[in-house]
Amino acid sequence: MAKRVSVAVLTAAAQAEVGHMGWLLAGAEAMIFGAMEALGPDHLRIGDRLDDVIGAGEAQEFLLAALTLAASGLHTRLGSARIADQMRLLLMRHMARHPDEFAALEEHAAFCQALAEGLRDALAHGLEHDEKKAQKLAGRAKAWERKADHEVMRLRDETGSNTRRLPFLRLIEVADDAADALEEAAFLLSLIAQGHSTGWNNDLRTKLLQLASKVLEATQDHVKALAIGRTLTEASTADDQTEFLTVCWRVMAAERVCDVLTRDVRGLLVRDVTDAATLNLTTDFAAALEETTDALLRTGYGLREPVLLRIGTTDTRVGA
Amino acid sequence: MTGDLAAPYQISGSTPLKAGATPELLGFKAYNLARMAAIGLNVPYAFVLGTQLCATPGTVTPDLWRPALAVLERETGLTFGDPRYPLLLSVRSGAPVSMPVMMETLLNIGLTDATLPGMIRLTGHPRLAWDACRRLIAGYGEVVAGIDAGAFEADLSAVSAGEAEPELDFAVLRDLAGRHLATFAREAGSAFPQDPGAQLQAAIVAVSASWSSDKARSWRRLRNLPDAMGTAVTVQRMVFGNAGGLSGAGVGFYAQPQRRCTRTVGRFPVQRAGRGCGVGAAQRRRARGPGHSGPAGLGRTGDGDARA
């Protein structure tokens, strides 16, 4: 622990009139090390500092609660073994409350939503005929994709040897495929807008808009899943847990819908488009949109595991 | 409703217009909303504090509007101040005669540090949430705290880098909201209120008081309208015109009196909150940027309301 955190804990304990006799009798720092070790290498490894892993504020709150628990245990003659058990549960609760690993994912998801909305709006407002606006969108998409990429790199740096954050790093790396695919779609649309939408009739335009709308819906559900997931703990209501799983499954179901829509687009292209450049670019454009939901599907699957672990179950069939 | 409007008047789906409901008591705007709801049009749920209630300072207290708010919560399935499913409200003036631009409106009341994540959870739309947040702080700052609009416009200029407002992404709007909070604290001498109930009470009082503003008084004097009419205050569930490129807010007319024809016309700029559509000076200032006519999806209200 950093010295300033230790001082803050002792000051708060003194103000709350929590003594340290119970703490010493229960095993003091050895009891905390025991609780940390009991969490296993998925959460903490030898040499990890608690305030590095869960943040100084959370560590401070945990230690104050630990001192209070030990003092109360002494008062009620709980016994050191039972105090140690409760200490493990207390640490697990504080570990689960630490939400920072969600922050990068949420920021990344917000950029994906912005990208998807830009594409949906572009199709709705006919940017395939407006080269200047389509190029502007491609430029904005590139900037958003870079910012999303920055979140990946930031989480990679923060994760370092922290194995507890590894699942979140893997998740954001998968989600980054969605950002890449969306940026690619915006780039392709800027090429299409250079006079390569010959044969884009109402049927095709409608189908592409449906595809882009579904992709946008999936990115928004991804944002919702993260917003709910970060709040879930073992104390969450069944409604919240069910809602989380419902949204995750909706993200995954979107992939199947987009698969069908992409095939429909290809069918229309074969039927109505003869210009080679239009055919090639539009096929790739639709494929890039569809690839987004592939990446979101994989992210949705992966997201359930760490969240359900926080809830206290790994049964991912719930709500399926 | 009783004839003297002793209690707030609820506007909800397909409820017949109650006996005694008149423009004089409900205000022109709320009266017409109630009529539209009565014939089955999709009008967002609301309650109205009538002209008589608002005429007497001190009459409108939280005890008066809390039961009506509870009805609104029940009807919408959302809860005011709830971090998971927050109900957000608009607070609008409404006199018995049309007084365009003369009185005030506040949007997104109920948005706080605690409820903003709930709005993102409900909508999946971070930009919408941060746009609503920065609009609330600036609008509340101007109307309730009396902060000069220029202070908030300076914040906007600092972050926008010449881009039109609809082009600003969620990260820029989040930055802007943070700047607005600092501006509010600096100019008002206290932090922006994070208690939704306090926000609502202050908003109702400020909107009601805008009846007595200098510009409103001058406008009535020029048109020989009596000061005694007073304004009603409509508290309504928020719907959003800034939820993406297929979302907008605007005005529609079923006739064009100047041209003596009955052709239906309207103007619906996309990515606009309701304050940019013909009401309030502050609203007009924030409605700059390219407009767009006739986006798909018009006719629906409640963008961004979807629950999982």
The pLDDT value recorded for residue A97 is 62
pLDDT of A22 above 90 = no
Mean pLDDT of A183-200: 97
Same domain for A86 and A169, yes or no, is: no
Q: Is residue A214, in this structure, part of any structural domain at all?
A: yes
**Domain end call among A97, A117, A144:** A97
Looking at residues B76-94, what average pLDDT do you find?
Answer: 96
Tens-digit pLDDT profile for residues A255-311? 999 999 999 999 999 999 999 999 999 999 999 999 999 999 999 999 998 888 877
Q: Which residue of A has its CA nearest to B116?
A: A227
Residue at B181 is within a domain: no
Q: What pLDDT is stored for residue A306 in this prediction?
A: 85
Residue B252 or residue B97, greater confidence: B97
Q: A159 is in which domain, residue-wise? A: 100-311
Compare A310 and B28 and report the one with higher pLDDT.
B28
Query: Which among B121, B123, B245 has CB closest to A228?
Result: B121
pTM of the model: 0.82
Q: Do A124 and B169 touch (CB under 8 A)?
A: no
For B108-119, b/e burial (b = at least 16 CB within 10 A) is bbbbbeebbbbb
pLDDT at B178: 96
Q: Do A72 and A158 share a domain, yes or no?
A: no
Mean pLDDT for the stretch of residues B276-288: 39
- In terms of pLDDT, which residue wins out, A212 or B273? A212
Domain carrying residue B206:
1-114+194-238
Kindly state the average pLDDT of the residues B12-32. 90
For B253, list phi and psi in degrees, rounded to 5.
-130, 135
pLDDT > 90: percent of chain B: 67
Task: Identify the band that residue A98 occupies on the pLDDT scale cut at 50, 70 and 90.
Answer: low
Spatial contact of A51 and A2, defined as CB atoms under 8 Å apart: yes
Task: Tell if the CB–CB gap between A220 and B123 is shorter than 8 Å.
Answer: yes
pLDDT value for B264:
80
Predicted local distance difference test score (pLDDT) of residue B293: 33
How high is the pLDDT of residue B287?
34
pLDDT of B48 reads 96
Nearest to A113 among B117, B122, B124 (CB): B124
Q: Please give the mean pLDDT across all residues of chain B.
A: 85
pLDDT at B81 over 70: yes
Give the model's confidence band at A49: pLDDT under 50 very low, under 70 low, under 90 confident, else very high. Answer: confident
- Mutation for testing the A interface, residue in B169, B173, B270 having most A CBs under 10 Å: B169
Structural domains of chain B, count: 1
pLDDT tens-digit profile of A111-131?
A: 999 999 999 999 999 999 999
A67 and A131 together in one domain: no
Tell me the nearest-neighbour CA distance from A218 into chain B, angstroms.
Answer: 9
Please indicate if any CB of chain A lies within 8 Å of the CB of B125.
Answer: yes
Q: B135 in a domain, yes or no?
A: no
pLDDT, mean of residues B150-166 = 95
B293 in A contact zone (CB under 8 Å)? no
Query: Per DSSP, which regions of chain B are E strands?
Result: 9-11, 46-49, 79-80, 86-87, 89-94, 105-109, 232-237, 251-253, 265-267
Is residue B124 included in any domain, yes or no?
A: no
Could you tell me if residue B288 is inside a domain? no
Determine, for residues B120 and A223 on separate chains, whether the beta-carbon distance falls below 8 Å. Answer: yes
Per the structure, the count of domains in chain A is: 2
For residue A144, the chain B residues in CB contact (below 8 A) are: 169
| Cβ contact, residue pair B296, A120, below 8 Å | no
Q: Which among A71, A97, A123 is the end of a domain?
A: A97
Q: Do A170 and A283 belong to one domain? A: yes
Q: B185 near B123, Cβ under 8 Å?
A: no
Residue B16 resides in a domain: yes
Q: Is the pLDDT of residue B299 over 70?
A: no
**Percentage of chain A lying above the pLDDT 90 cut:** 56
Residue from the list B121, B170, B292 with its beta carbon closest to the beta carbon of A224:
B121
Give pLDDT, residue A34. Answer: 83
User: What is the CA B288 to chain-centroid distance, rounded?
Assistant: 18
Polymer length of chain A: 320
Tell me B256's DSSP state: B
Cβ contact A113–B127 (<8 Å): yes
Res. B87 pLDDT band, cuts 50 70 90:
very high
Residue B253 DSSP one-character state? E
Q: State what percent of residues in chain A have pLDDT above 70.
A: 92
